[in-house]
Amino acid sequence: MKGTLNIGRVSGIKVQVHWTFVFLIAWVVFLEVSRGREMPAIALSILFVLVIFGCVVLHELGHALTARRFGISTRKITLLPIGGVASLERMPEKPQQELLVAVAGPAVNVVIAILLYIVFPIHRFLDLEPEALQEMLSAISPQNFVFYLFAANVMLVVFNAIPAFPMDGGRILRALLSMTIDRVQATRIAAALGQLMAVMFFFFGLFYNPLLILIAIFVYFGAQGENVMVQHLALLRGHKVNEAMMTNITVLNPGQSIGEVADIVLSGTETHFVVSENGEVRGVLYQSDFIDAMKGKNTQAAVKDFMTTDFEKVGLNEDLAEFYRKVRAKNINFFPVLEDDQLKGAIDFNNINEYMLIRSSLDY
Ligand SMILES: [Zn+2]
């Protein structure tokens, strides 16, 4: 994610804060100032937000370290004003594993809440009459700080239990559904419910809390994206790269001029090219390489001066579902297909989309 600040590493996982986090702090300060609070009270509120986000990091670590037990690594944990995101390289597909990974986050907050309850006299607050409790909690103070922290952790557990896929509760629901029905179907149901919840969050947020609006948007599009992804992976699984690749491609020679490539680009629809010499692949001239050359008006220059030599390639018999994951993760959109160092074709995202279109219309 762009615009993030690294704040450290925990168990080898990078922890980052997104720049929009500044808005959250600014909002807290604004609320406190508008209530006429003094500097020490404002500082205490900021400290409270920071401690809560410390709890959020521990929550995300709960997901990440559980996933690690199943051989899934986590690239980073990002803190946004609406909460944390652990970027797992993938979700476990076994329902029991997904269930454990999803439960592990809120479980951390349960543990924190229990520890606070044991160590501090939280029960004294809970024993108060409603009016006295309201009075006691009207503003955050050193006396009620820990109680606020306890309540916030309880809130995190309750909020995450809402079955709004892809939030934790929704993942738990999908995992439970996947134990009895097909995972694609389970995802479809969980995502539909998640989107319905998102619409409710949105309207609720309009009246009560603007942060809920952001969460609603995040949930709505998150549910849509994951649902599509799971359906696509199901269509591709068990199929090989050679079923979807292009074989009718223009192969460039390293010595060819950029001007000649411009003619090829104009006369056809290809945008990326494999560069080969004596039957050996030397590089790839990506569209961005070609544009760089054209921008410098290097039409006389040779392809070899602009091609990328440390390009990503794919094997003829690689699984299409795995390849699809790789394409999405790496954000590269053109791969030469090789077998025993011999060029067999090329594949890009359009091929995969066309292949899925054909497969879904064949409906088998
Ligand atoms: Zn979580």
Q: What is the mean pLDDT of residues 242-266?
A: 87
Q: Model confidence at 123, in pLDDT bands (50, 70, 90)?
A: confident
Q: Find the 12 Cα to ligand 1 centroid distance in Å.
A: 19
For the chain, domain boundaries: 1-161, 162-236, 241-362
pLDDT of residue 55: 93
Q: Find the 193 Cα to ligand 1 centroid distance in Å.
A: 18
Q: Find the 231 Cα to ligand 1 centroid distance in Å.
A: 23
pLDDT of residue 1: 56
Fold of 241-362: CBS-domain (3.10.580)
The token pair that represents 120 in the structure block: 């501090």
Global pTM exceeds 0.85: no
Q: Find the 81 Cα to ligand 1 centroid distance in Å.
A: 14
Q: Find the 166 Cα to ligand 1 centroid distance in Å.
A: 9
pLDDT of residue 2: 66
Q: Find the 101 Cα to ligand 1 centroid distance in Å.
A: 9
Q: Find the 160 Cα to ligand 1 centroid distance in Å.
A: 7
Q: Find the 153 Cα to ligand 1 centroid distance in Å.
A: 12
pLDDT of residue 363: 56
pLDDT of residue 252: 87
Q: Find the 170 Cα to ligand 1 centroid distance in Å.
A: 10
State pLDDT tens for residues 262-319.
Answer: 888 898 888 898 998 888 888 888 988 888 888 888 778 888 888 888 888 888 888 8
Is the per-residue pLDDT at 172 higher than 90? yes
Q: Find the 145 Cα to ligand 1 centroid distance in Å.
A: 24
The token pair that represents 343 in the structure block: 């060029």
CA distances from 128 to 121, 140, 152, 182, 246 (A): 12, 17, 18, 49, 72
Q: Find the 19 Cα to ligand 1 centroid distance in Å.
A: 21
CB 334 within 8 Å of CB 272? yes
Rounded distance between C-alpha atoms, residue 86 and residue 94, angstroms = 19
Q: Model confidence at 168, in pLDDT bands (50, 70, 90)?
A: very high
State pLDDT tens for residues 52-94.
Answer: 999 999 999 999 999 999 999 998 999 988 888 898 888 888 9
Q: Find the 29 Cα to ligand 1 centroid distance in Å.
A: 27
The token pair that represents 116 in the structure block: 């606070």
Cβ neighbours of residue 152 closer than 8 Å, sequence gap 6 or more:
52, 55
Beta strands (DSSP E) in 243-326 are: 251-252, 273-277, 280-285, 314-315
Q: Find the 192 Cα to ligand 1 centroid distance in Å.
A: 19
Q: Find the 169 Cα to ligand 1 centroid distance in Å.
A: 8
pLDDT of residue 170: 93
Q: Find the 57 Cα to ligand 1 centroid distance in Å.
A: 10
Q: Find the 34 Cα to ligand 1 centroid distance in Å.
A: 32
Q: What is the mean pLDDT of residues 177-202?
A: 93
Rounded distance between C-alpha atoms, residue 44 and residue 141, angstroms = 7
